Structure 1
């Protein structure tokens, strides 16, 4: 077994409140799409996220001042070892579940972690469409706010020469605009977004979701959900990251993307897609993993069911086997 990340160490984390002493999951919270929530539920979720910014950090990572920072800092500390690997989707499943646990146990949130199904908003036949950015998720009153003001990126900040950015500055409205919400890790800054319609509409294409769901085994599923690191070949993982984050946006930064609260709804949707794929052959897919341990090392060592991941001080180490079942005891939620 292999531990990932310099911050990882054995830790006896507290059990989920809905996990019995026997290790069984009872009364799992159900995760809903953002549009399925009432206005009261939306407000409750956003209030809980803001609550985390007022709780003292426990990750032990320099620069993380509060519990929201903790998650961004842990993700940063383990990048790039958690992308383009076999455990990518399960590491992030554990990460989002731990964030959900913090919202519920530390900030009084009573529902499941919501997700954003961006495939409902994409218009792949019209790549210039801005429909996605008028989605309820970006509502400034009961959503996450919208774009940043336009900032032209310098060549140094845009080495991949990504075009079509419409923002790049601080988010201007909603509950996560400054000064109400600020990031501390790795530096003190505002939340930034840089909407790119072309990427949003092509990467969130429902046909790409169906392609991922059609994969025959876990290894091919894990590879399909990330695809290759190229803007010439869309992948659904990149939709929420680069469609919303673009060049200068927080969620478009590979290491620091959890600094945008939307990260957890984006990855919640990716997790829902994994969950839906598993339902097609649950007996097999609760006992199957694969893919490389090292990024892109498709001819090297593969992950196994007893391969361990960690998220530093945020929770205890977990095997991939334990993370395959969302109601298996380590995890306790459903869709």
Structure 2
């Protein structure tokens, strides 16, 4: 595990956290919205499924329009569907860990298992060729665990970043029984420095409302971005794997959603990056004047562990955020009919975040999930994760 200096460097680098012949229904003079892009991406994905459009992937007949999973936005789920999702997440929080209690004493539940693996993999799955691909595999494994281990009947929902300009009062964070819990209690605190000074939001304290009120976080912190004056307890182990029981903190705010991840920002990002290298780099890398989309989503939630690059999956809404990361990529892959095959197979970047000159990633590179891997799908190569309707995957976004 990296020492303190490396960890600080990681925090800083994270925070720095088409003229085709296709039958395109919009003129070049029109500005595409994310709704336009979503509709066209879904239409093209179904064309791939029925064989009228090729994406270059080898597929069996197991994924069809009749059995494909449809992932939906959290606020579009019915109240019953939201409660069922909440129940399944709470189930994972109660199911025992499958990891070594000696090696990972802070892993108390199956939910914590997902955190440990993310902590282990962080240097190789951020700012690398497989950032999008590994996280696609990771989210699918989480969805599979919810369904197979907790009898969840639905699929992983996502948080559409551009949908809510008042995030603390959105269906995700408003603190009612159908939400993912409320904001943290309002406490006096400074904001944070994530490439620039960010003002404090309206929370900062422990979550005391909604289904995840009084949730206990065990792992980390390892790379906290919260105000030190809040005195969040340090982990008993330098690697962050010790048991460090504390409350779930949030500082849900509107700073990022009103400036950097509006629908117009998302559409512009999708339509202005023709290669996956530019797409994934600009998705992750902040500039001096603009927060990157990926980090803007994380820091709209912030808190502990949500603002920690290593242990952020301990935040229950991490999974909605990264569901949207995957959807954003999926839309980019699928919305231009004439480029679906080319974009699906694109793979660029290195293999280690901490080594700028690390070896280039290859489509055959094996992705690892340890005890999280769904049965029969351990050590999946990246090229099996290129498409959401080929390889082991079978889902689309609505």
The answer to whether TM tops 0.5 is: yes
Question: Take 2:304 and 2:94, find their aligned partners in 1: how far apart are those partners?
Answer: 23
Q: Matched residue of 2:306: which SS?
A: helix
- Match among 323, 348, 352 for residue 290 of structure 1: 348
Distance 1:231 1:91, change over 3 A: farther
1:91 is the counterpart of 2:131: no
Aligned to 1:41: 81
Please show how residues 53-132 of structure 1 align to structure 2 within 5 Å. 53-60=93-100, 61-122=104-165, 131-132=166-167
Q: Could you report, residue by residue, the CA deviation over 1:1-27 in whole angstroms, capped at 9, with x for unpaired residues?
A: xxxxxxxxxxxxxxxxxxxxx794351
Q: How many residues align?
A: 300
- By how many angstroms is 1:102 displaced? 0.3
- By how many angstroms is 1:292 displaced? 2.1
More deviation, 262-271/145-154: 145-154
Aligned to 2:213: 177
Q: Matched residue of 2:71: which SS?
A: coil
- By how many angstroms is 1:301 displaced? 3.2
Aligned to 2:183: 147
Question: Take 2:99 and 2:343, find their aligned partners in 1: how far apart are those partners?
Answer: 32
Aligned to 1:136: 171
- Contact 2:205 2:250 (C-alpha < 8 Å) held by counterparts: yes
Any gaps of 5 or more consecutive residues in structure 2?
1-59, 221-243
- Contact 2:162 2:257 (C-alpha < 8 Å) held by counterparts: no
Aligned to 1:31: 71
Question: Take 2:259 and 2:304, find their aligned partners in 1: how far apart are those partners?
Answer: 18
Distance 1:25 1:74, change over 3 A: same
Aligned to 2:396: 334
- Contact 2:167 2:253 (C-alpha < 8 Å) held by counterparts: no
Give the TM-score, by structure 1 length.
Answer: 0.83
Give the TM-score, by structure 2 length.
Answer: 0.70
- Contact 2:63 2:394 (C-alpha < 8 Å) held by counterparts: yes
- By how many angstroms is 1:76 displaced? 1.4
Q: Matched residue of 1:65: which SS?
A: coil
Q: Matched residue of 2:279: which SS?
A: helix
1:262 is the counterpart of 2:330: no
- Contact 1:23 1:329 (C-alpha < 8 Å) held by counterparts: no
